[in-house]
Amino acid sequence: DVSPVVAGLIGATVLVVSVSVTVFVWTCCHQQAEKKHKTPPYKFIHMLKGISIYPETLSNKKKIIRIRRDKNGTPKEAGRGNLLVDAAESGLMGSDKAPDGPNAAPHVDQLPIKVDYGDELSPDQSLTPGGSKTSSPSSPGDDVMLGELTFSVDYNFPKKALVVTIQEAHGLPVMDEHTQSSDPYIKMTILPDKRHRVKTRVLRKTLEPVFDETFTFYGIPYSQLQDLVLHFLVLSFDRFSRDDVIGEVMVPLAGVDPSTGKVHLTREILKRNIQKCISRGELQVSLSYQPVAQRMTVVVLKARHLPKMDITGLSDPYVKVNVYYGRKRIAKKKTHVKKCTLNPVFNESFIYDIPVDLLPDISIEFLVIDFDRTTKNEVVGRLILGAHSVTAAGVEHWREVCDNPRKPIAKWHSLSEY
């Protein structure tokens, strides 16, 4: 016989265990469902000289191994280290894209790697209204040619795939005065959705880079091509600071017809114009400087009209505040995440000790970032106040703060594209 007390404890234990298991199973199923819904309806593969360097992006499909022949013509199975190529891409690439040899495979260390938010830029990469950098003396000016970009556009009707090959660039400007050269690479985005974001590898110390990289995007109907725009951003990699923006190329596909075959195009690289960027919303911040205590108080108040970043039509924004002295970041802080809103209210303040004599070289960068639990956080927009401010409103706000000590000055600012 079991006493009522023991029976009650056993029943309570069973009930707690059952509820815990149920909650755990429900949480796992919910996370799997969210991850499944957030997966974009398209897939893409990245090919370098005919070899897929991202074969893992295509799943649940039979993969084949490229066969290379020896000098006698006898087929030889590819050894360890050779890359697998998905069978689906065999219909997209012809024999002219075959690799020249085992050395055609790219090395991992050739790819640009970011340890922080991949799309963040520092104030030394700020753009003027004309689009050139303000701090780099080697930045291209109005009378400097930025070179040309050569690429091709093709469409595979059976697979509903858009194929873009970035071939080469000519006549790039010098971005590194020490080596009198550049380390160029290209970021490509398909507008207006901005979901198809890819980039090439970095080519070291050259002004005439030959990329020969193919990006294949699946799930794009041919009827939608007329509404899309290819955006190429040409950059120069910098190991010790943020990358330099050389220029951009905008190619509306409304004037390109790849239905009859591959279309080869050459476009002039133009200075990046932030005035043409799509609105990223607005951010309201307040600044106040105490000259006696030598402290700067920064208050992130609120944002409005932020772009939709999630499949729900909302975002989970937070603001990262970086303080720079010249090119060096000396402080970083961030607000709390505001869930499911395009008009968040933060009302969070941060205090920084800044001597008066350093104020002319101080920049404060605000990065509005969309938080994502399952994937990488994405930068929504950017604002810079201080020495590297790129807008007239930002320059005026900083001047008022310096001219009116101990007075909090709050203003709205439009967020620029990163």
Burial code of 175-203, b = ≥16 C-beta within 10 A, e = fewer? bbeeeebbbbbbbbbbbeeeebebbbbbb
pTM of the model: 0.44
Q: How many CB atoms lie within 10 A of CB 360?
A: 9
| Residue 226 DSSP one-character state | G
The residue whose two tokens read 């050569």 is 150
Record the tokens describing residue 223, joined without a space. Answer: 């009827």
Q: How many CB atoms lie within 10 A of CB 8?
A: 11
What is residue 177's predicted lDDT score, i.e. its pLDDT?
A: 78
Instruction: Please give the distance of CA 361 from its chain centroid, rounded to a whole number.
Output: 28
φ and ψ at residue 125, rounded to 5 degrees: -105, 20
What is residue 89's predicted lDDT score, i.e. its pLDDT?
A: 37
3-state secondary structure of 359: helix
CA neighbor of 409 nearest in space, from 304, 284, 319: 284
Sign of CA dihedral 342, 347, 353, 359: positive
CATH 2.60.40.150 domain position(s) in the chain: 147-269, 281-415
Q: Are 277 and 380 in contact (CB under 8 A)?
A: no
Return the CATH architecture of domain 147-269. Answer: Sandwich (2.60)
If one looks up domain 281-415 in CATH, what number appears?
2.60.40.150
Identity of the residue numbered 61: K
The per-residue pLDDT string of the chain (418 residues; one tens digit each, 9 = 90 and over) reads: 668 888 888 888 999 999 999 999 998 888 777 666 554 455 556 666 656 555 444 444 434 334 444 445 444 444 333 333 333 333 334 434 334 443 443 333 332 323 333 333 334 443 333 333 333 333 334 446 788 999 999 988 888 888 899 989 988 888 877 888 888 999 888 877 666 778 898 898 889 999 989 888 888 888 888 888 888 989 888 877 667 888 888 888 887 888 888 889 898 988 876 544 456 789 999 999 999 999 999 999 999 988 887 767 788 899 999 999 888 889 999 999 999 898 999 999 999 999 998 888 899 999 999 888 777 788 888 899 998 887 888 889 999 999 999 999 999 998 887 5
β-strand partners of 149? 169, 267
- Sequence length of the chain is 418
